[in-house]
Amino acid sequence: MKNLTPFVIFLACIGWANAQNAALEAATADEKAVRQTEMRRFELTVQKDLKALAELLGEDLTYTHSNGLLDSKEQYLATLESGKTLYQSIKSEEIKVRVLGETAVVNGLASMRVWTNGQTNDLRLRYTDVYAKRNGRWQLIAWQSTRL
């Protein structure tokens, strides 16, 4: 019986290590999925593909612009559709994703060229956004940015 104890402990450690590896792989896969969703969202915004963009935005989105204005999903998409604001380019310079279960927090740095109110603005922003995993896909539910 004494000879079995180290073997049982060894098997328990292997099981624990495998569980930890599986959890790490799942988190890494979710981090990658959120990162890809974020990059896709930037692309769709520049391309003005509002139908595809709408699918990446949660119905409960709160979008706080760097000037302090707050938009809902409906307001944000309406502004893009009207042409009042056109994102000419968005370049991600830095991005960190932290997955917390069914929620992910993204901290990033981006450079943007935005045409609004008849004027082109080159912006460099530090931002935080929040994604929620709903029906197996990640949706943006909050954006907050600050001009640098």
pLDDT in tens, 27-47: 589 999 999 999 999 999 999
Cα–Cα distance measured from residue 13 to residue 122, given in angstroms and rounded to the nearest whole number: 54
If one counts every other C-beta atom within 10 angstroms of the C-beta of residue 127, the result is 17
Residue 47's pLDDT is 97
End-to-end CA distance of the chain: 67
Asked whether the predicted pLDDT for residue 16 surpasses 70, the reply is no
Q: Which of 26, 34, 11 is nearest to 103 (CA)?
A: 34
Give me the pLDDT at residue 14, please: 56
Q: What is the pLDDT of residue 26?
A: 53
As to burial, measured by CB atoms within 10 angstroms (0-12 exposed, 13-18 middle, 19+ buried), residue 115 is middle
**In this predicted structure, what is the pLDDT of residue 8?**
53
Q: Which residues of 75-105 are buried (b: 16+ CB within 10 A; e: fewer)?
A: ebbebbeeeebbbeebeeeeeebebeeeebe
